[in-house]
Amino acid sequence: MRLLVTGGHGFIGSHVLRQLVDAGHEVTCFDIAETSPIAASVANETTFVRGDVTDPVAVYDTVAATAPDRIIHLASLLGRPSELSPRRAYDVNVTGTINVLEAAVTFDIERVVAASSVAAYGSVPDSVARLDETVVQQPRNVYGVTKYTVERLGRTYENRHDVPFVAIEPVHGIGPDRVRGNVEDAYLIKAAVDRTPLTVPNVDRPYEPIYVGDEARAFVVAAVADDVDLDHDRYVIGTGELITLADIAEWLRDLIPDAEINIADRRADDEFEGLPPTDTSRIEADLGWEPTLRPGQAVETYVEWLRTTPNAWSIDPEDAPWSFG
């Protein structure tokens, strides 16, 4: 099968490229960004087209030239950058998706699988014990609104133009190739591996991470599945397990006994509104997907990758979520 992956040099995208290549598919990566370590490992087995998803001509020409059967649309501006630059977030996340969907209509693409996020759910009532696709979506930040819009656009194009569309709604990813972005757990783990002293606040905010390899596999199975396997147009993915940065700090002390991790304040944040743990029954039933690693195992995998790939990235204090030392 021929597949086009937008944002293939990103965190999830690099793992999607790797998995598609390993499965024997013909893959084109469309991205404006430089390559990442894992994406670079499959550079000789994929076609790379440099382009901006906000440019409709670039998207159109790429789809025309590569003739993919299906598209995995991952190109996106992430959470913190979206809040800092709402106009750019709209251009990349919303207009970029329209450009992909328009090309899909023109060239009769069999299916578009797009990256959404659990951020599309926003505020969830306390009565909701598990987050699944039946929960009402009420996004409360710019990033969540753009992802909610991506889903609505996909459904609209499917209804009006018969372009099959699937949205994957992942929780926060963790693991190899996480080399940029204001990501608290990644900085914590990288600092520990580098033996960089770090003081961590806000350690009791519960959140749900997922191993990036499992995250990528959800996109892959949704893209390559037979039509008969797809009974729904969106899928929540996660581990169903909430953790805190304090948990990660404890795991890191076991893995790296001489890591210098200090906890500044163990008080809970009363203003923090997190999401309940996920229920992934839908994607398990439809596509047979389920996570293979628990959060602690994902952290260990990331630690080992950072140890064996020491030059993958270096901490930029100006971009970091905390001060070091």
Structure tokens at 17: 């490229």
Q: How confident is the model at residue 270 (pLDDT cuts 50, 70, 90)?
A: very low
Confidence of residue 28 (pLDDT cuts 50, 70, 90): very high
Structural contact between residues 281 and 132, judged by C-beta atoms closer than 8 angstroms: yes
CA angle 73, 119, 31 (to 5 degrees): 25
pLDDT confidence of residue 35: 81
Q: Is the pLDDT of residue 319 over 90?
A: no
Chain position carrying tokens 């459904």: 155
Average pLDDT over residues 83-111: 97
Specify the higher pLDDT residue, 154 or 317.
154
Convert the pLDDT of each residue in 112-132 to its tens digit: 999 999 999 998 998 999 999
How many angstroms from the chain centroid is the CA of residue 24? 23
Q: What is the pLDDT of residues 153-174, one digit of tens each?
A: 999 999 999 999 999 999 999 9
Least confident of 14-18, 85-89, 183-187, 243-247: 183-187
Q: pLDDT band at 34, cuts 50/70/90?
A: confident
Is pLDDT of 267 > 70? no
Q: Which residue(s) pair with 198 in the sheet?
A: 261, 324
- Reading the block at residue 29, the tokens are 């990566």
Inform me whether the pLDDT recorded for 271 exceeds 60: no
Task: Count other C-beta atoms under 10 Å from residue 248's C-beta.
Answer: 25
Can you give the pLDDT at residue 273? 62
Q: What is the three-class DSSP state of 131?
A: strand
Range of weakest confidence among 74-83, 176-185, 280-289:
176-185
Is the pLDDT at 152 greater than 70? The verdict is yes
Mean pLDDT calculated for residue range 84-93: 96
pLDDT reported for residue 178 = 77
Q: How many residues comprise the chain?
A: 325
Q: Is the pTM of this model over 0.85?
A: yes
pLDDT at site 82: 92
Phi and psi at 48, nearest 5°, equal -110, 130
Q: Structural domains in the chain?
A: 2-172+209-237 (3.40.50.720)
User: Whole-angstrom Cα distance, residue 53 to residue 178?
Assistant: 21
Say if strands 198-200 and 209-211 run parallel, antiparallel, or are unpaired: unpaired
The backbone torsions φ and ψ at residue 202, rounded to the nearest 5 degrees and listed phi first, read 55, 40
Residue 325 or residue 227, greater confidence: 227
CB atoms within 10 A of CB 288: 10
In angstroms, rounded to a whole number, what is the distance separating the alpha carbons of residues 115 and 11? 12
Q: Could you report the per-residue pLDDT of 207-249, keeping only the tens digit for each?
A: 999 999 999 999 999 999 987 667 899 999 999 999 999 999 9
Share of the chain above pLDDT 70, in %: 91
**Residue 315: left if φ>0, alpha if ψ -120 to 50, beta else—which one?**
beta
**pLDDT score of 265 more than 80:** no
Q: pLDDT over 90 for what percent of the chain?
A: 75
The dihedral built from the CA positions of residue 228, 130, 150 and 31, taken in this order, carries a sign that is: negative
Query: Which span out of 66-70, 77-81, 174-178 was modeled with the highest average pLDDT?
Result: 66-70
Give CA separation, 325 vs 108, 140, 186, 314, in Å. Answer: 55, 34, 17, 15
**Spatial contact of 70 and 110, defined as CB atoms under 8 Å apart:** yes
Whole-angstrom Cα distance, residue 42 to residue 19? 10
pLDDT, mean over the chain = 91
